[in-house]
Chains A and B, each alone.
Chain A
Amino acid sequence: MRSPVLGFACAITAVAFIPAVLAADNTPSLAGVWWATSYNPSMKAYLVGGGDIPLNDAGKKKYAEDQAGLKDGSIVDRSRKYCTPDGLPRSLSTPYPFQIIDAPPGQMTIIYEQNKMIRGIAMDKALEPLAKLQILPFWNGHSAGRWEGDTLVIQSGGFNESTFADATGLPHSDELQTTERVRKINGGKQLEDVITIHDPVYYTRDWQARFVYDNHTGMRLMEYICGETHRDISGIKGINEARAANAARARGQ
């Protein structure tokens, strides 16, 4: 016969699993497959309010070094050579689809087709202080989210310095902290992600970039293995220009 204590413990265990499911049912959801309609290698194209990205002197110097290194090959863009994660905010400019999943319980997960990136977002606790996150920095940072009405607010920090902020070599430091406000727009036909960049090492002030994606829920993500032929993205506005520019750079033009 099962002991009453054990039976009570089992009942507690069973009940403990119900609230998470009910909570998931009662909160908004951004779940689905989303895909950008355009791509630009420069974060400047996504800058909210236009103008220039507010690099400080150290940022200008680092950006110039990055650009020169990428051009002469002394710096490798590992995100394109070895398909390591793009980091933020560069990941948000991906021309490949991505999937938002309301799972596992207490978390939310974003799967990016490009580079097989996985972003786990803790929904059950606040983001740890930056100093603690920097002990184990991640390529895509550590993230925690919360809902403000129908907007998902994701705060991230604890990035390593192995990524660029965009494909042109825009820098970021390990003090980068971001806040994303993600919501459905146009009746759910599109998803908007406005990211605020806070990195006092390289920028004079916080700045924002805005990304919009179309809803492709029902479409299946495909495999992405570095160096192989992937999904045809030539229909994404700006891709052919970016590829032509890469080819010209490879030819030394």
Chain B
Amino acid sequence: MGFSSRRNALVLAGLGAILASGMALAADQPAPHFASGIPDFSSNNMGWASDGIEFLPMPGDKFVPITSTPEHPYCGNRRLPKCNFQNLPPIGDVHNPILQPWAAAAMQKTNDQILGGKIAFEAMGRCWPAGVPGMMLFTAEPAYFLQTPEEVTIAYSRGPNIRHVYMNVPHSKNPKPSWYGESVGHYEGDELVIDTIGLSDKTFVDFYHTPHTDKLHVVERYKLLDGGKRMQGIAEVEDPGTFTTKWRAIHYYIRHNTPIAESESICAENNSANYFHEDEWPIPQADKPDF
């Protein structure tokens, strides 16, 4: 082993020791809780920022969320350095077996349009609600969990977008389909569990334009990791109108040390401009004033 190799081995060993001690430290730190015992997702005046732009497979699961294809990697703004500073649009894998034929065909049509030069629609960029579970992938700006016994309100700075999760109550019999549906929740140990139905079919499941019907049923499970430094969100997705099977996905969040009182990110502030022909997808606007 040459000097360089020995040095590298020492560095790696040192890094390993640091990582191991760090992991042990993290594992040893309790996640923040309120005095009532429920996990505190809002501690220390901070919010949560999405760590990445796509759902990850659940380890061991046979069926996985839609990903990009090898020939067309998805490289949004946060991935520019990894893509040689190219901004590559989302081209979803239509051969994923979770898709029913109509859904695969719809996505293929969208893929063809994007590869033909049409700008890819992004709800986040065009100020539209992302729905559920799409909202889980928002965003670089912090989201806040406002926890009360009756309701957990999730306030997403970006947009803004707001979700209301009513705690320890059943669903309505026939909720009218809406962008964020009807969400009810409860705690299971250290997890916040959110059950959502009543979703309209106007949103996509992810950035790959995976469609869904109003039969979509999503269960989200949020849990603090590393003593509250990170958070994981697991989505259990079921839609007999779109998917061949139930599937699950995982997504991670990192702390955004900005209190809600210091966070405002108004999507429509500048997006009514048309600098890059983005007006192919107009932002929400009213033809006449509401009142």
Q: Which residues of A contact B (CB under 8 A)?
A: 2, 6, 10, 13-14, 17-18, 21-22, 31, 39, 77-78, 80-85, 95, 99, 101-107, 109, 111, 114, 116-118, 120-122, 124, 138-140, 142-144, 162, 220-223, 225-228, 230, 233, 239, 242-243, 246-247, 250
Contacts and interface: CB of A to CB of B under 8 A. Distances in A.
Interface residues of B, number: 52
Contacts of A233: 291
B157 interface: yes
Contacts of A83: 268, 284-286
Contact of B268 (A78, A103, A105): A78
Contact of A106 (B164, B259, B291): B259
Interface string B12-51: 0000000000000100111011111000101101000000
Given A10-B30, A106-B45, A107-B261, A116 B159 contact: yes
Contact of B285 (A18, A116, A226): A226
Interface of B: 25, 28-30, 32-36, 40, 42-43, 45, 128-129, 144-148, 151, 153, 155, 157, 159-162, 164, 166, 178-180, 259-264, 266, 268-269, 272, 283-291
Contact of B40 (A17, A144, A222, A246): A17
B166 A243 contact: no
B260 A109 contact: yes
Given A116-B160, A223-B129, A246 B283 contact: no
Given A17-B35, A83-B268, A233-B291, A109 B146 contact: yes
A38 to B, nearest CB: 12
A77 B35 contact: no
B72 to A, nearest CB: 31
A22 B35 contact: yes
B41 to A, nearest CB: 9
Main secondary structure of the interface of A (DSSP, over half): mixed
Given A14-B30, A118-B155, A225-B129, A80 B25 contact: no
B45 A80 contact: no
A117 B28 CA distance: 39
Contacts of B159: 116
Contacts of B29: 6, 10, 13
Nearest to A139: B266
A233 B289 CA distance: 14
B178 A122 contact: no
A223 B160 contact: no
Contacts of A250: 288
A39 B289 CA distance: 15
A222 B176 CA distance: 11
A104 B32 contact: no
Contacts of A99: 153
A35 B290 CA distance: 17
A111 B30 contact: no
B262 A104 contact: no
A139 B264 contact: yes
A62 to B, nearest CB: 21
Contacts of A21: 34-36
B44 to A, nearest CB: 8
Given A80-B290, A101-B153, A104-B144, A17 B33 contact: yes
A49 to B, nearest CB: 26
Contacts of A84: 266, 268-269
